[in-house]
Structure 1
């Protein structure tokens, strides 16, 4: 395992490829006109029905906030607009398939296993491990990015789904522009993604906060009733189940940190789910989160928002945790389990077995072999181990920061990861 210390977070040093990509971005004129984005999506697909127009207030707000951000690079503006265009296209395709197949609404999503926990707290590894069990249905990145195929677009000559190919090409480009990202959060096509990706065609979810600094959107999101967005997400999961072969498994394994602050909505939409609530030292989470985001900003921003990142994400992590602690008791004891990060890291299969007991699923010999194979194929530190320096990079004393979260240590099984 190779230690990876990113020493140019605040003042990036660019290679030739990165400089060329940034120069290309500056040559592009990017317009965040909401109607223009919708019109372009409609023209590309020959579809016009975007469904309930209530999403427009969110799209308008996002476009206005991002357009007013003078700190974005040309490449940053271009990539952000492309995201919005992609979500508009997905929305058209979702509305189209629901119109043609209204029976989708009657599909049941039965007894999903849902992992809930802080970002950068082992939830990604856990859901990928659970997804190795061939009896469970998970959401690979390529499919979550484009949940509905484009009508008339067949498989490539080698049998590859073009959606998979596009995701693979995007990952290859990302590895050139931000090569150390693989050590922090791999985004290859087969990587299991978060289902809140499916809220993005509704221009909802806290994901927009991860794409770029978006405090106005955050405030709007926190004031919103999240239940309709969870219903929308579940509808898209139904579409994905409708489109899969009849022989495919139908019990889903899902995960997202966003659920921490929306447990009542999550349970209301998935009333028979089993819930896995992970816990980790928030300081470890924060240093991992802000390091990853600061590293990504080298391509999207003219200067790195070191101070804003540490302040913003400390507040967001605290909000996630306080909201979770307020509502954790609402999850049914017989179908929920708390998983400390340190316990999971010490005994992965033992932890999985406890989860399966809660979910009423037997960890049989086949599943054990499949998970063992996943662990062998995805060893810790496969792409390098990032060495963090919260004090040196962000001017934040880990011990002082940890005191802010004493309320969480007092109420959860998380332990302080001192010396990290």
Structure 2
């Protein structure tokens, strides 16, 4: 067990990866804030601490792989990320629903979960490597859902389905998803004040690798549609790096969003923590995260070109998702027709059948004893 000591972690990663420095200096502040929160605030069990260290080492490994891939692939710098589409909004806003529908329409492409988990492939890959990554991701999902069964309804995932690009930010230690997984108020404070433009530039580097694998010619990759609720907290940094991006923001009321965030937070933290926080403590923690995100979004949008944003009320999306996709097709010049929406319509039918059921209150669930969970997990 290395503990959450910066030098020991970086030294072990450097030795394992056979490099002198496994982390660019740009991301050291985020790394320090993260390991400080894990050490001092997260109340991790022994197994939870082991899992957290394993995730840090995996992220460091992806950083080394990124630099290595860029050295061996000089044409990567020429891969364009043109007019990407970012879907964002508070929890319970339907961002996953819209993202999946758009990813299944002609002319758009979204990275799948297994790719976001392992964005940097070997310099030479084949179908066997891809199959192994899919199988590994499926296995980790099985372990995650066994440890926290309600996550299957809160956040259903599949290795070959699109997922949130927060996975890419975890490789530069700059995602509020970490604060959802582990209780770390100091890390929240760091992230709310951090300049995330370097992290978004890093995000773009990973996307170039993914687009390079799916490029249509020597330079042009597919038009990307991406989703992550946490973009809402950093819209100014997003558009500084992707000035031609479109941002689709789904509008939802604060209270259901706060309830959903609190439940997700409790469910995830129950995997690695020795004992759960109280419902009141978690609600205050999540309310700060949520309210700061709303305030940051309002400030950013006040100073950004309004033409880059498309606002969609959640009620409109939930009433007729395919109609929303058609309207976006016109706005984004995607050439979407009813005939081209077949795959999206089939996915929507399956999604509605498997839609999450209403949940019991958090206080009732917290009162129930929960078994301690072992083994590596994906989330």
Contact 2:69–2:122 (8 Å) recurs in 1? no
Match of residue 6 from structure 1: none
Residue 243 in structure 1 maps to residue 213 in structure 2: yes
Per-residue deviation at 1:307?
2.4
Match of residue 46 from structure 2: 74
Contact 2:180–2:269 (8 Å) recurs in 1? no
Match of residue 309 from structure 1: 282
CA distance in structure 2 between the aligned counterparts of 1:307 and 1:51, rounded to whole angstroms: 37
Q: 1:300 aligns with which of 268, 272, 277?
A: 272
Q: Which runs of 5+ in 2 are unaligned?
A: 368-379
Q: 2:32 aligns with which of 60, 68, 73?
A: 60
Per-residue deviation at 1:317?
0.9
Match of residue 196 from structure 2: 226
Residue 112 in structure 1 maps to residue 84 in structure 2: yes
CA distance in structure 2 between the aligned counterparts of 1:149 and 1:314, rounded to whole angstroms: 38
Match of residue 282 from structure 1: 254
Query: Residues 208, 106 of structure 1: CA spacing in aligned structure 2 closer, same or farther, 3 A cutoff?
Result: same
Q: 1:349 aligns with which of 307, 318, 322?
A: 322
Contact 2:62–2:171 (8 Å) recurs in 1? yes
Q: 2:347 aligns with which of 358, 374, 382?
A: 374
Match of residue 178 from structure 1: 148
Per-residue deviation at 1:70?
6.8
CA distance in structure 1 between the aligned counterparts of 2:321 and 2:168, rounded to whole angstroms: 28
Residues 166-218 of structure 1 deviation map (CA, whole Å, 9 limit, x = unaligned): 11110011121111211110122123222232122222232221220111111
Per-residue deviation at 1:47?
4.2
Per-residue deviation at 1:284?
0.6
Q: Which runs of 5+ in 1 are unaligned?
A: 1-28, 396-420
Give secondary structure in 1 for the equivalent of 2:310: strand
> Which runs of structure 2 are paired with 1:1-150 in the superposition (5 Å)?
29=1, 31-50=3-22, 52-69=24-41, 71-150=43-122
Per-residue deviation at 1:282?
1.2
Residue 200 in structure 1 maps to residue 170 in structure 2: yes
Match of residue 374 from structure 2: none
Per-residue deviation at 1:155?
4.4
Contact 1:42–1:89 (8 Å) recurs in 2? no
Per-residue deviation at 1:269?
1.4
Q: 1:270 aligns with which of 239, 242, 258?
A: 242
Contact 1:49–1:95 (8 Å) recurs in 2? no
Give secondary structure in 1 for the equivalent of 2:281: helix
* Alignment coverage as a number of residue pairs: 364
Q: 1:320 aligns with which of 281, 289, 293?
A: 293
Contact 1:76–1:301 (8 Å) recurs in 2? yes
Contact 1:116–1:257 (8 Å) recurs in 2? yes
Residues 62-97 of structure 1 deviation map (CA, whole Å, 9 limit, x = unaligned): 223212347221222122111111110100001111
Normalised to the residue count of structure 2, the TM-score between the two structures is 0.87
CA distance in structure 1 between the aligned counterparts of 2:353 and 2:257, rounded to whole angstroms: 17
Mean CA deviation greater in 211-220 or 65-74 = 65-74
Normalised to the residue count of structure 1, the TM-score between the two structures is 0.79
Give secondary structure in 2 for the equivalent of 1:251: coil
Residues 340-362 of structure 1 deviation map (CA, whole Å, 9 limit, x = unaligned): 11110001011112222221212
Contact 2:81–2:221 (8 Å) recurs in 1? no
Give secondary structure in 1 for the equivalent of 2:224: strand
Give secondary structure in 1 for the equivalent of 2:33: helix
Give secondary structure in 2 for the equivalent of 1:387: coil
CA distance in structure 2 between the aligned counterparts of 1:134 and 1:191, rounded to whole angstroms: 16
CA distance in structure 1 between the aligned counterparts of 2:130 and 2:24, rounded to whole angstroms: 34
Q: 1:215 aligns with which of 171, 176, 185?
A: 185
CA distance in structure 2 between the aligned counterparts of 1:274 and 1:218, rounded to whole angstroms: 27
Contact 1:198–1:236 (8 Å) recurs in 2? yes
Give secondary structure in 1 for the equivalent of 2:116: helix
CA distance in structure 2 between the aligned counterparts of 1:81 and 1:175, rounded to whole angstroms: 21
Per-residue deviation at 1:325?
2.1
Match of residue 166 from structure 1: 136
Give secondary structure in 2 for the equivalent of 1:337: strand
Give secondary structure in 2 for the equivalent of 1:204: coil
Query: Residues 351, 296 of structure 1: CA spacing in aligned structure 2 closer, same or farther, 3 A cutoff?
Result: same
Give secondary structure in 1 for the equivalent of 2:248: strand
Who wins on radius of gyration, i.e. which is larger?
1
